Amino acid sequence: MTGTIIENLSGRKLAVLVTFLLLCQLTCFLIGGLVAPMPANAQMMIATVCKDTTTVKNDTTKWFYNRGKGACQNIGLENLHHDLSETDFVFAFQMPLPRENMILDYSRWQQNLIGVLQIDIKYHSLMEIQPRSVITIDARMAYRNKGDPEEQWRLYTRSVEKRNLDCDIEIKSEHHLYNCSAMPLFELGSLFHDYYLLNIRLPIETPDMNSHIGHIHDMSLIVINQNGGFTKVWVSLKSVFFPSIVAILVWFWRRIHMLQRKPVLLEKMLLSLGLALCLLNMPLEYLTLYFDLPFMLLLGDIRQGIFYSMLFSFWLVFAGEHMLIQDTSTQSSLKQYWRHLSAVATGCASLFIFDMCERGMQLRNPFYSIWVTDIGTNLALTFIILAGISTGIYFLFLCYMIWQVFINISHKRQSLPTMCSVRRLHYEGIIYRFKFLMLATLLCAALTIIGFTLGQVAEGQWKWDENIELEYTSAFFTGVYGMWNIYIFALLVLYAPSHKQWPAVEDTSDTQNLSEEIEFTPLQERSSEISSLTSFLKKATID
């Protein structure tokens, strides 16, 4: 049997390949640390309070903004006349804010925009906030592009939303403010336009509407968007990795079809993993530069979910194929791993349902959020906590499987002294290389799970309003992303079928022993295994 490239590649060539891959990995970390800026940028802006003297308050063609021709003046809530009601003023946010007297605009490279609303409420003895008060917000968003007149704003979306006010105060004094939690307000899946405008009203259409929210002192908006410079680096990496993985995948599958046998399970899993990585690597972000694609956030989550499910499934099969958990008389199949794979499928399906409930609904209404109700918040936190616990349990189980693999190989090595010298040296070299690959797999799994957990926490920290200090840089993102590509690239190369035959043995006794061992291995087994290591392990088990 010819085996795989990892078994037959010379030590010098293998060292050159490993050195090249390690340099690529180091380059990915350096690109993120030295070239790419921070992944996201947050900007806080104070609302401009505009006086609305129009008769029709629901006119979507009337917009209030604080910069440019026709801008309103900030009258301030403290200067409002007593004859004005809540419907006579509008909170205006014009995005983005200027910097150093320069008018800035959003770039399509910035991909998305998230808005979190913070309301400052001053204590008043006659207007105390009741616990769990509900505030009703009439939110309208408009956009404008470069070259448009400064007063020409077009309606982007509008919605009347309810949010829970979670406020507390330590000292009840007229000069103190309530400590109110931030509220998720909107999430845009694309930044196709140059300027955005948000108008917020507090309607009082019924006697109970907004009657228990206290005396609003001020209102601020925190907007978070992906950094355009980071997106350029990220898409550049995708543009390099995508054709590389496609090319090595085609090469891998062609070598398999050159053999006179059907692909085995591990080869099919490697092909599926490579296809999932190609789907993740596709630089679809280029399309957002020319088309308004608000579903890109959801599509990105789906692509990443498919890759995670394939990667986690491959690791289970990869370790399981060397644990001899299957019947050695038949070829391996996915049915033998249904318990392991069903757990991965259940976790991925749960996250997909949660994502559809959040970002799927935001395709119709950007102001929708699953975090605004107690049930939705508890459900979202449950999904995130369960995802974190599940990934931790998965990693421990994978460590256990890899440990069992090492124990299994150690037991089988006891039969090596009875073999001929050529065959013994051959198997010892294979075992050392395989152990190194398994340790690299364990490291890749650890970094992947850490990145997944941090990503879930970072995405939710603005929405559940917990003071979580997370400092993770672009180097971690680009490093882990590069690690996925380099790791799978190495697997496709090293586990591709080798066309080398074992060298002839000059010693007569060694030749006789070698021929006896080859004759002992059934022809069906030699033609159905991906490598001589799995063949050796199963042969020893049959013995």
Q: Tens of pLDDT along 314-326?
A: 988 888 876 654 4
92 φ/ψ angles, rounded to the nearest 5 degrees: -115, 135
d(CA 321, CA 531): 11
* Reported confidence tier of residue 507, pLDDT bands at 50, 70, 90: very low
Better pLDDT: 426 or 258? 258
* Reported confidence tier of residue 82, pLDDT bands at 50, 70, 90: low
- pLDDT at residue number 525: 38
- pLDDT at residue number 93: 93
Better pLDDT: 82 or 304? 304
On average, the pLDDT of the chain sits at: 80
Instruction: Give the distance, in angstroms, between the CA of residue 477 and the centroid of all CA atoms in the same chain.
Output: 10
- pLDDT at residue number 469: 46
- pLDDT at residue number 488: 92
Per the CB < 8 A criterion, the answer to whether 90 and 140 are in contact is no
Asked if pLDDT for residue 10 goes beyond 50, the answer is yes
Asked if pLDDT for residue 513 goes beyond 70, the answer is no
**Mean local confidence (pLDDT), 358-379:** 84
For 278, counting Cβ atoms within 10 Å of its Cβ (0-12 exposed, 13-18 middle, 19+ buried), the class is middle
Give the model confidence (pLDDT) of 147-170 as tens digits.
888 888 999 999 998 888 888 888
Per the CB < 8 A criterion, the answer to whether 177 and 123 are in contact is yes
Q: What percent of the chain has pLDDT over 70?
A: 79
Which of 137-146, 262-271, 329-338 is the least confident region? 329-338
Quickly name the fold that domain 5-39+229-542 has.
Rhopdopsin 7-helix transmembrane proteins (1.20.1070)
**Max intra-chain CA distance, the chain:** 110
